[in-house]
Amino acid sequence: MKKIFRLISYLYSRITSQNNRFNFDHSFKTEIEANELLSHFIFFSSLIRKDSDKPKPAAFTINTARRDMSSYRIKELNENQIWDIEKRYVSINRSDKKISKARADFNIEIIKNYKSLKLNPDGNPMIRHCNIENFPSDKVEQKAIQVELANQSTLIINPNQSPLKIIK
């Protein structure tokens, strides 16, 4: 019984300390600000251009059923904190547990250029999560948005991944 109690206490402390790391960041404003940066994590090296610092348009994966795309608000975070979000909230929630190869950072103003798109800072699974919703159902229109996102974003390779794994 004592071992079970210690295990439960340990697990509870791990969960609350992980959540406290970002969810109780009192300086973080949940209101979306102009020119804020968003990150979209990329899980396949085939979606990374080998000849530039840009992702391929298909890297901006749209959930076709919900017509949305997951992203994270990265204002006031350093590189380690951004990659910590990937490790703690993104990869771990994937069914395949795949670790991202890279991320694409882009300005929120690109989304605001499209009247149909809506930003939903839903805070799930953590306070910095933001869904981009209401993508058009038309594939040509979706592709146009993906192309603009790819052209306007900056690709950052995951420093925890071997470069050889990414180039393949």
**Backbone torsions φ then ψ of 119, nearest 5 degrees:** -95, 125
pLDDT in tens, 17-38: 444 455 445 567 778 899 999 9
Domains of the chain, by residue range, sit at 35-167
The one-letter amino acid code at 60 reads F
Rounded CA-CA distance 48/103 in Å is 10
Which structure tokens are listed for 24?
Answer: 């109780």
pLDDT in tens, 66-113: 999 999 999 999 999 999 999 999 999 889 989 999 999 999 999 999
pLDDT in tens, 133-145: 999 999 999 999 9
Q: What is the pTM of this model?
A: 0.81
Per-position DSSP letters for 45-111, written without gaps between them: GGGB-SSSS-B-GGGS--BTTTTBEEEEE-TT--HHHHHHHIIIIIGGGSTT-PPPSEEEEEETHHH
